[in-house]
Amino acid sequence: MAYTDLPPALLREHRTQSTEPDDFDEQWAATVADSRATDRGVTMHPVKTGLSLVDTWDVRFPGFAGQPIGAWLRAPRGNAGPLPCVVEFVGYGGGRGLGHERLLWSTAGYAHLLMDTRGQGAAWSHGVTEDPDGSGPAVAGVMTRGIEEFSSYYYRRLVADAVRAVDAARELDLVDASRVVVAGMSQGGGLAIAAAALGAGVAGALVDVPFLCDFPRALQLAVRPPYDEVVRYLATHRDRSASVLRTLSYVDGAHHAARAHMPALFSVGLMDQTCPPSTVYAAYNAWAGDKRIVEYPFNEHEGGGAHHESIQLEWLDQVLG
Could you list the active site residues?
Answer: 186, 272, 301
Q: Are 68 and 43 in contact (CB under 8 A)?
A: no
Integer Cα distance of 219 and 311 in angstroms? 31
Measured between its terminal Cα atoms, the distance across the chain in Å is: 40
Burial of 227 per CB tally in 10 Å (0-12, 13-18, 19+): buried
**C-alpha gyration radius of the chain:** 18
User: What distance in Å separates the CA atoms of residue 130 and residue 148, rounded to the nearest whole number?
Assistant: 21
In the chain, what are the helix, strand and coil shares in percent, each to the nearest 5? 35, 20, 45
Rounded distance between C-alpha atoms, residue 163 and residue 199, angstroms: 5
b/e per residue 285-321 (b: at least 16 CB within 10 A): bbbeeebebbbbeebbbebbeeebeeebeebbeebbe
